[in-house]
């Protein structure tokens, strides 16, 4: 509905994919689809044991799945480090099995990737962000980082939900307002001006911004 690309498109040469869980997937997906270089996004379920889970089964907390956003991106335009910046800054990764008022294991913080280098960067970013979070008075990061985690696409009405006419504006994320400083040896690729479109000091920041992708300067 937003990017005009198939939500099940497989990464083409020069593209990569990852799954991110950071609270309710409605707001999380919008945060990612706005970034320059993102090719497609989809919401779904990952990290559990039940095959082909439904929204109701995931919400019950018994399927073991988290609500996640599948992101495919063009590596020539945006780097994994940029995506990690959005991920860490858009929610509170220290809250365990909840995000804001949403409680349950389906709202846990997680990163699922199958590329060894992306795993290394995800873990390095977690360790670096832990340092700055603790300096700011926050506790331990609970983010789950795993590989070989199947993605189950969510029901059609959840896809790009916040861009749908008549959608109920909602985002459970609780940003810490602590900037992510990056990872040594992995530079940001996006222009710094992109991040002015996100103001995590505002409650439910992603709901206030436009639905359209951010244009590069």
Annotated catalytic residues are 24
The answer to whether 214 and 197 are in contact (CB under 8 A) is yes
Residue 170 CB neighbours (<10 A): 13
The answer to whether 131 and 125 are in contact (CB under 8 A) is no
Rounded (10°) angle between helices 116-135 and 80-89 = 40
Under DSSP, is residue 77 helix (H, G, I), strand (E, B) or coil?
Answer: coil
Q: What is the C-alpha separation between 183 and 161, in angstroms, rounded?
A: 32
How far is CA 211 from each of CA 162, 163, 193, rounded to the nearest angstrom? Answer: 8, 6, 17
Nearest Cα to 83, choosing from 208, 161, 198?
198
Q: Measured in Å, how far apart are the chain's first and last C-alpha atoms?
A: 24
- Strands 102-103, 66-74: pairing kind: unpaired
Nearest Cα to 160, choosing from 21, 70, 18, 30?
30
């Amino acid at each position: 509905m937003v990017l005009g690309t198939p939500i099940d498109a497989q990464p083409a040469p020069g593209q990569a994919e990852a799954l991110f869980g950071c609270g309710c997937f409605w707001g999380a997906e919008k945060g990612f689809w706005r970034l320059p270089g993102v090719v497609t996004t989809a919401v779904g379920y990952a990290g559990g044991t039940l095959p082909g889970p439904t929204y109701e089964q995931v919400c019950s907390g018994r399927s073991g799945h988290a609500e996640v956003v599948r992101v495919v991106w063009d590596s020539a335009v945006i780097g994994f480090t940029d995506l990690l910046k959005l991920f860490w800054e858009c929610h509170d990764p220290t809250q365990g099995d909840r995000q804001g008022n949403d409680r349950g294991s389906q709202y846990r913080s997680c990163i699922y990737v199958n590329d060894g280098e992306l795993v290394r960067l995800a873990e390095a970013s977690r360790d670096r962000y832990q340092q700055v979070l603790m300096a700011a008075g926050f506790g331990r990061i609970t983010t789950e980082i795993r590989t070989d985690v199947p993605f189950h696409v969510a029901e059609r009405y959840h896809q790009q939900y916040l861009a749908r006419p008549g959608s109920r504006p909602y985002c459970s994320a609780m940003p810490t307002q602590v900037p992510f400083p990056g990872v040594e040896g992995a530079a940001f690729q996006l222009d710094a001006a992109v991040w002015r479109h996100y103001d995590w000091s505002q409650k439910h920041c992603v709901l206030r911004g436009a639905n359209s992708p951010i244009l590069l300067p």
